[in-house]
Structures are given as structure tokens and as C-alpha cells.
Copies of this chain bind each other. A is one copy, B any other.
Amino acid sequence: MDSITVFAPATVANVACGFDIFGFAVDNPGDQITLTASPEPGVRIIDIIGDEGRLPREANRNTASIAIQTYLQHINRTDVGVDVVLRKKMPLGSGLGSSAASAVAGVFAINELLNRPLTVRQLIPFAMEGERIACGSAHADNVGPSLLGGFCVIRSYQPLDVIRVNTPASLYCTLVHPDIEVNTKDARFILKNEVSLKNTITQMGNVAGLIAGLMTPDYDLISRSLVDVIIEPVRSILIPEFNEVKQAALENGALGCSISGSGPSMFALCRDPQTAERVGAAMQQAFLSVGISSESYVSEINQQGPKVLTTAEVAS
């Protein structure tokens, strides 16, 4: 093939109690990338659609093209030429893993275009390099689930150890993105470097409970475990009406509700699609009560990771 278009899913990192170690993928939203083979070696950004001109077009500054470049260097194929068109289908700086989705779409697409020299799991480090550009450190809690699908645990970074955990057949995610912006670096900067042993113990209990709840499955246990005593109390001050929005989600039947990634988006997990829709409407209403508009997305947990939308042979 000469051309390929790939979708990669948005992701919810942290998932309340699992700061830097938990993340899951959703079916909606996500990014699209189109790669077209070119006789001229190198990676070029031809166009980015949907970012209102905010993302860098230089190939060595863009998260998707850097991921592709790093991959091509690793497999010794810097002779390959590829033109990139990126369609941002989700808000930037939203806490929905926007940069990870672009990087994942990029490496997944180039690996397909070259007939899969590497397995999907082997692509994680190259997508992480894209993340390093976007947020200053190479995190895997968005990249992992965006690439592998499902709910992932980043058990360790050195060496990298990403585990995929089964989730209940019926589990829905509501995402609400308020039209405000939180910088990922700021959101990390305000965190304290020390945690009390007491809070560490509480958080570990919820981490264990959430994994056991997802794998059993046990919805009540999932619900009791979606509690974050370390990060949420600090970061939630960056999100206006956080407590009211969370309360609205819980009162409308969500299993739990917290910050998606570093925010400002918020996620809720629900047992069924009707509840997820109702929860989304209630969360949007709570934001609107202080004049903040928002977008809401409802989907199942994405189990597949990226998918090929179209391929084409270009007549020579």
C-alpha cells in the first residue's frame, strides 16, 4: 500500500487512584492520521486539521512525526519517505491523551505501511518519545492503553512493563471536557514530592481494590475503589466547580468520577450507556451553572487500540 489512514483512541490516565500507573482507552474521541509514501526520504507534516494552527508543523517538534522518526531510526529505515496529514478530532491540552493519540496513530500507521516489522507492543517506546516532546517526560499511561486498547497498568518504567487488565463486558465512560485549559506541566508542577505513609496506604488499598473489582468483575468494589486521596485534592483546585461536577456524576449513578489525566477533562465510569448519558448531561449542567461550556463523550472502553480506517494504492 502507498497510503493509510489510522484512528487512535483518546485515553483516560490515572483513573482516580492510579497516578502514573493506570490508563484506559475509549472509542470516542480519538485522532486520525494519514500517511502517504513518498520517494523523498524523511518525515514531513503536510497538514494538521482541527488544531486551529496551534501544533508545530516542523517534523522534529511534532509528537506524531517524532514518534515516526524515532521508529524509522530504530528499524534502520531512514530511507523511507512519508507525508503526514493529522486530523485532530479532540481538544488539545484536555487531559484526554491528545498527544499520545497522535503519536500512537503515527507509529501504528507507519508500522502497518511497512508491513509490520514490529509487534504493536514493541511500538510503545516510540510513541512515548512523542509524549516526551508534548509534556516533558516520556509517560506511558496514555500511550500504553491507546496502543494496546483496554485498561492498562504501567507496573514499571525501568524496565517498561505494561500489563493489560480485563474489564467488565458492560462498562461505559463519560468524558466531559470543559472549555478551559490546564497545562500538563503546570498540573504536574503543583504536586507535592512527598506523600504521607497514611495516604500511600489508603491509595494502595484502592489501587488493589480497583484491579480486583475490574477483573472479578465487581461493580460495587470498582465504585468503592475509585477514590484518589493524593492527586485529586491538589489538582482539582485547577478545575472550577470540580466538587459540584463530581457530585452531579455520583448523584446520577456513576460508579466514580475524577480528573482525566492532568485535567481539565473529567471522567466518570458507569454500568450502562443510559446512565453514562445521564451522567454526562448532569456534569455539563454543573459546569454550565458557572458559565463554562463543555463537550461530552460517551463510549465503551475501547478494547482494540488503533484501527486502520482506509488504505490505498497510488497509481504510479
Contacts and interface: CB of A to CB of B under 8 A. Distances in A.
A153 B212 CA distance: 9
Contact of A204 (B19, B163, B216, B225): B19
B208 A208 contact: yes
Interface string A6-19: 00000000000111
A13 to B, nearest CB: 12
A216 B216 CA distance: 10
A195 B207 CA distance: 17
Given A156-B224, A161-B224, A195-B197, A204 B204 contact: yes
Contacts of A211: 208, 211-212, 215
Interface residues of A, number: 40
Given A21-B204, A155-B225, A156-B202, A161 B209 contact: yes
Contacts of A198: 193
Interface string A215-244: 110000100110000100000000000000
Interface in A228-285: 230
B156 A230 contact: no
Interface string A131-163: 000000000000000000000011110000101
Contact of A196 (B194, B202, B204, B207): B194
A112 interface: no
A140 to B, nearest CB: 11
Given A163-B221, A215-B212, A195 B205 contact: no
Given A193-B196, A203-B200, A203-B204, A224 B19 contact: no
Contacts of A215: 211-212, 215-216
Interface in A179-208: 191-198, 200-208
A154 B224 CA distance: 12
Closest 7 CB pairs of A and B: A155-B209, A155-B205, A211-B211, A194-B194, A153-B208, A21-B205, A215-B215
